[in-house]
Structure 1
Amino acid sequence: MGADVSAAGDCRYPCPFSRQQNPLLRKIKSVKIDRHNLRILQVLQTNARISNLNLSEQIGLSESACLARVKRLTSERYIREFLAEVNLDKVRHAEFYVNVALKRQDARTSESFRRAINDIPQIVSCVKMSGEFDYMLRFVCPDAADFNRVSEQLLANEDAAISRMTSHLVIEKTKPFTGYPLELLFQD
């Protein structure tokens, strides 16, 4: 059963999507992002190598004002880091999304699972999910045989406490990630 949400967007029962229940959401709402900061974030998420001069021209601010805003957005963790996206189509690889259900639903089991996956380089991301499964992992491996070997080792690892896994091979990236819909996310 889903959370009962009022017209104001707050849950009537304790849930992580309620501004009252989640301190992260309260903090996000307290920080105002003006149109210049929004535009800076939009430009940088698609081109992190842009020069400060070109960025300032696109935003309509002086170079020093633009640089100060980028530094502030970085220090406040709106910008976590600047990365290069490697084109996986240029290298041999197999990509899988894997749903994982744990044997028990408690903090100790979750922490043990996190430690078990932390040093596996083929697991490039992990998110905790609601629903039938507890986590979704993204694997990037040289081939299916490597994925099979790593996933079997993970299943056999008692510390991982996995009761069930389902895997899904990525055949095509129909809509690749090109950035977050920031204008929608920062609407009041």
Structure 2
Amino acid sequence: MSASACFQRKKALQEAGYFFNFHTEMDLDRICEHVLAYVEFYLKSNTAQQRRQFENALQDIPEFMDCLRMSGDVDYISFTCFPNYNALKQMCDSLSDNPSLGINRIVIRPVLERTKWYLGYPLEKLKWIE
């Protein structure tokens, strides 16, 4: 496919709502000091209102880059990037101290080493919707 045809196809798919964002992966280890961690959140209550309050709070914190609502004993898992461990801990303490968020417990799991990079969804392995 030519570059022009490829661009037109990408534009058509984007306008149709099939994808909505582009980003670049950077090797942060070569650029800046940082701490990556997964943070588990356990809520006191699992009501829709409580979940909305918690989710809205995390939307405003750019260091929480991804957040997934989970099944099982943990309610949410978030992938984070902070300048250092103290900044991460302070943010988690601040969230935990906010009674309106209903957080029962927070578990911080620092990333020791990134052994595989996310390079996109395995589209060739997924069943397409007709």
RMSD of equivalent CA atoms = 1.8
User: Which runs of no fewer than 5 residues in structure 2 stay unpaired?
Assistant: none
Write the deviation string for residues 93-121 of structure 1: whole angstroms up to 9, x where unpaired: 01110111111111100011112222222
Question: Does residue 129 in structure 1 map to residue 70 in structure 2?
Answer: yes
Write the deviation string for residues 21-46 of structure 1: whole angstroms up to 9, x where unpaired: xxxxxxxxxxxxxxxxxxxxxxxxxx
State how many pairs are aligned: 128
Distance 2:75 2:57 in 1: 15
Distance 1:87 1:187 in 2: 32
Kindly indicate whether structure 1 or structure 2 has the higher relative contact order, using CA contacts under 8 Å at least 6 residues apart: 2
Q: What residue is the counterpart of 2:94 in the other structure?
A: 153
Distance 2:85 2:64 in 1: 14
TM-score (norm 1): 0.63
User: Which runs of no fewer than 5 residues in structure 1 stay unpaired?
Assistant: 1-55
1:164 to 98, 105, 114: 105
TM-superposed deviation, 1:155: 0.5
> Partner of 1:97: helix, strand, or coil?
strand
Distance 2:46 2:23 in 1: 34
Specify which structure has the higher proportion of helix.
1
Specify which structure has the higher proportion of strand.
2
Query: Sequence identity, in percent?
Result: 32
Q: Is the 8 A contact 1:116 1:159 kept in 2?
A: no
Distance 1:122 1:82 in 2: 18
Q: What residue is the counterpart of 1:87 in the other structure?
A: 27
TM-superposed deviation, 1:129: 0.7
Q: Spell out structure 1 runs of 4+ moving beyond 4 A.
A: none
- Between Structure 1 and Structure 2, whose CA radius of gyration is higher? 1
- How is 1:57-72 mapped onto 2 (pairs within 5 angstroms)? 57=2, 63-64=4-5, 66-72=6-12
> Partner of 2:125: helix, strand, or coil?
helix
